[in-house]
């Protein structure tokens, strides 16, 4: 299911924050992003140079052009800059039955004013009550609540004060208040407080705040309750901050690149596979492939695999060829079929069939399934490349839980095979070492 999300925010040409960060985050999480630009900033990772607002009329026309065409699942509001823009957003969105995530942005990490001083009262009076949830950091929460924040207790008080401005749900991000290397994000979900404590990542970055509120907006659009949505958005943001890179000369830009992460995880998995003791004995005639997709695969092209194979050379095992999306047809098709039924399964590899390996897997309480190639219908046999999908489908169609292993005992001219499945390459390897 694709969700449509609109962000109403300012442009950041460095793509670290603002509209560009929102769209990248929506995209990374599988949502379709639409955008209404309120202001254009000129800034880079070292400095903020200036800002020019878009006219209120033009903001109105952009909003109308989107609302009259798309069915939206959620809206995020970021930088709004001035009074007239706030008033227009208010009149266009009031009365809409739609979750709105309001990220109060007052000042950029590179030092520019993103909300004019005389717009603050209208921001509180008009925009805050429109929101389903507001996501200030400590500094923004201090301004909104009108109190100083020094302790977790102060954060709770600030959340209650912000609630009185007319918004039910508040998340105050504790990043500016690290204590013993931990930070605490506080969610006030209507009447209930949740404190989410996580590790402080000491990394000055550009884009963390926008990433969090944009990810939260996707989570809410999908329909998750706030505590779950906050946890997952926060995890995505931490990964983005951990992954922040110095792309310009100044602040590192926070960004999570899924595809690169998949490459690293699979490469490490392949290297570790080749180091499993006596692993050469497990390589089948047709050699081994190891595949991974860290997003839900829709086709073979979403699955990373070796374009060559992991081959046996005497008692050594060597990866050949390059890692590529769509690189593996056989193990890739098997993964695709399993992941259609069990979306947690994202990685697989194949090893040589041996009935002792299967017996050991069962003794170790792994979930073992199989299919019988001799039962393959003729029309499938005739259709090039559909045997594996058919067989795996047969094996999993009545399964109640994800398989760890699927095997078949071969057919005329077909080598028998064992496939091991898991959530990640690491998970697959853990199962492998249990049984070989």
Binding site for ligand PXL (CB under 6 A): 9-10, 12, 17-18, 41, 43, 78-79, 105, 108-110, 114, 209-210
C-alpha to C-alpha distances, 204 to 43, 109, 176, 210, 258, nearest whole angstrom: 17, 9, 11, 14, 21
CB of 351 vs ligand PXL, minimal distance in Å = 48
How many other CB atoms are found less than 10 A from the CB of residue 321? 14
Distances in whole angstroms, Cα of residue 391 to Cα of each of 173, 340, 419: 49, 14, 12
Minimum CB separation of residue 51 from ligand PXL in Å reads: 8
Q: What's the distance, CA 267 to chain centroid? A: 20
Least distance to ligand PXL from the beta carbon of 132, Å?
Answer: 19
Minimum CB separation of residue 70 from ligand PXL in Å reads 22
Main-chain dihedrals φ then ψ at residue 139, nearest 5 degrees: -65, -40
Tokens of 152: 């977790």
Phi, psi values for residue 59, rounded to 5°: -65, -45
CB closer to ligand PXL, 110 vs 350: 110
Backbone φ and ψ for 258, nearest 5 degrees, come out as -60, -45
Q: Which two tokens stand for residue 368?
A: 């073992």
Give min distance, CB of 175 to ligand PXL, in A: 12
Distance CA 153, CA 269 (A): 45
- For the bound state, the minimum distance from the C-beta of residue 109 to ligand PXL, rounded and expressed in Å, comes to 5
Q: What CA–CA distance (Å, rounded) separates 107 from 354?
A: 64
Q: Measured from the CB of residue 324, what is the shortest distance to ligand PXL in angstroms?
A: 36
Between 110 and 387, whose beta carbon lies closer to ligand PXL? Answer: 110
Give the bridge partners for 174, in sequence order. Answer: none
Q: Smaller CB distance to ligand PXL: residue 107 or 261?
A: 107
Token pair listed for 275:
């180091």
Give the residue with the Cβ less far from ligand PXL, 187 or 253: 253
Residue with smaller CB distance to ligand PXL, 78 or 391: 78
Instruction: Closer to ligand PXL by CB, 41 or 116: give it.
Output: 41
Using CA atoms, how far apart are residues 192 and 224, in angstroms rounded to an integer?
A: 17
What SS3 state is found at 147? coil
Contact 66, 5 (CB under 8 A): no
Of 202, 200, 197, nearest to 181 by C-alpha is 200
Q: How far apart are alpha carbons 317 and 315 in whole angstroms?
A: 7
Least distance (Å) between residue 29 CB and ligand PXL: 18
**Pair type for strands 417-422 and 405-408:** antiparallel
Q: How far is the CB of 9 from ligand PXL (least distance, A)?
A: 6
Decide whether 7 or 333 has the Cβ nearer to ligand PXL: 7
Nearer residue to ligand PXL within complex by CB, 209 or 297: 209
Residues 6 or more apart from 153 whose CB is under 8 A from it?
A: none
Euclidean distance between the first and the last CA atom of the chain, given in angstroms as a whole number: 40
Closest separation in Å from C-beta 79 to ligand PXL: 4
Angle between helical axes of 425-435 and 355-363 (0-180°, round to 10) = 100
Q: Which is nearer to ligand PXL, 20 or 294 (CB)?
A: 20
Q: Considering the complex, state which of residue 78 and residue 327 has its C-beta at the smaller distance from ligand PXL.
A: 78
């Amino acid at each position: 299911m694709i969700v449509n999300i609109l962000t109403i925010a300012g442009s950041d040409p460095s793509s670290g924050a603002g509209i560009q960060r929102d769209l990248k985050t929506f995209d990374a999480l599988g949502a379709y992003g639409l955008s209404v630009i309120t202001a254009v900033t000129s800034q880079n990772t070292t400095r903020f140079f200036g800002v020019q607002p878009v006219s209120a009329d033009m903001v109105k026309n952009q909003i109308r052009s989107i609302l009259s065409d798309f069915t939206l699942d959620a809206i995020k509001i970021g930088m709004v800059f001035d009074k007239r823009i706030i008033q227009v957003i208010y009149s266009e969105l009031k009365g809409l039955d739609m979750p709105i995530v309001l990220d109060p942005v007052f000042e950029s990490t590179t030092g520019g004013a993103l909300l004019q001083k005389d717009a603050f009262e209208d921001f509180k009076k008009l925009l805050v009550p429109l929101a389903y949830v507001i996501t200030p950091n400590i500094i923004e929460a201090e301004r909104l609540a009108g109190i100083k924040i020094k302790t977790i207790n102060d954060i709770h008080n600030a959340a209650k004060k912000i609630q009185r401005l007319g918004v039910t749900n508040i998340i105050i991000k504790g990043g500016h208040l690290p204590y013993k290397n931990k930070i605490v994000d506080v969610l006030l979900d209507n009447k209930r407080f949740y404190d989410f404590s996580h590790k402080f990542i000491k990394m000055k970055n550009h884009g963390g705040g926008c990433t969090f509120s944009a990810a939260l907006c996707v989570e809410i659009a999908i329909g998750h309750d706030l505590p779950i949505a906050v946890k997952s958005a926060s995890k995505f943001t931490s990964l983005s901050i951990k992954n922040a890179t110095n792309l310009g000369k100044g602040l590192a830009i926070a960004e999570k690149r899924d595809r690169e992460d998949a490459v690293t995880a699979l490469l490490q998995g392949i290297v570790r596979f080749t180091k499993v003791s006596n692993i050469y004995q497990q390589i089948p005639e047709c050699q081994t492939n190891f595949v991974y997709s860290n997003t839900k695969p829709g086709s073979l092209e979403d699955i990373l695999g070796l374009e060559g194979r992991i081959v046996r050379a005497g008692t050594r095992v060597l990866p050949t060829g390059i890692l590529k999306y769509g690189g593996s047809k056989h193990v890739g098709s098997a993964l695709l079929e399993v992941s259609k039924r069990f979306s947690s399964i994202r990685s697989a590899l194949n090893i040589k069939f041996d009935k002792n390996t299967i017996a050991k897997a069962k003794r170790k309480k792994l979930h073992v399934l199989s299919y019988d190639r001799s039962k393959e219908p003729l029309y499938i046999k005739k259709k090039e490349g559909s045997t594996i999908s058919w067989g795996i489908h047969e094996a999993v169609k009545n399964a109640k839980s994800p398989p760890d292993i699927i095997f078949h005992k071969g057919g005329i001219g077909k080598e028998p095979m064992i496939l091991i499945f898991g959530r990640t390459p690491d998970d697959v390897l853990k199962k492998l070492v249990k049984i070989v």
